[in-house]
Structure 1
């Protein structure tokens, strides 16, 4: 996610070669959507136009 340009407006998530989610970046690039797409517990944030993702570790 860190490599996405600040001006990214839309996103497409693929899972197993098929569209998992697509649309405005703010709707598609959420912790829930990206986590389900990659089957990982993660937290996705956007600060000052930059995206970052962290894998959540089990407690």
Structure 2
């Protein structure tokens, strides 16, 4: 199954891999727990973000821009 989203909160339990694309180029690809990181998501969106995993769900919060 393939799911396309801009919201990590929508990633349903059971998904195991992620493909992150920025400006038409692959930024990261691989297992969720290795690739869905604050660094990769921040690079993907061009904003400082913090990714947290609670159980099998993910959240992303923006950080203040300084």
Task: Work out whether the TM-score is over 0.5.
Answer: yes
1:54 maps to which residue?
Answer: 61
In structure 2, stretches of 5+ residues that fail to align are 1-7
Structure 1 stretches lacking a partner, 5+ long: none
Greater relative contact order (CA < 8 Å, ≥ 6 in sequence): 1
Q: What is the number of residues matched between the two proteins?
A: 59
TM-score by length of 1: 0.91
Aligned equivalent of 1:9: 16
Q: Which has the higher strand share?
A: 1
Quote how far apart the aligned CAs of 1:27 are. Answer: 1.1
What TM-score results when the alignment is normalised by the length of structure 2? 0.82
Q: Displacement, 1:58?
A: 3.8
**In 1, Cα distance between equivalents of 2:65 and 2:26:** 28
Q: C-alpha separation between the residues in 2 aligned to 1:33 and 1:24?
A: 13
Q: 2:34 aligns with which of 9, 27, 30?
A: 27
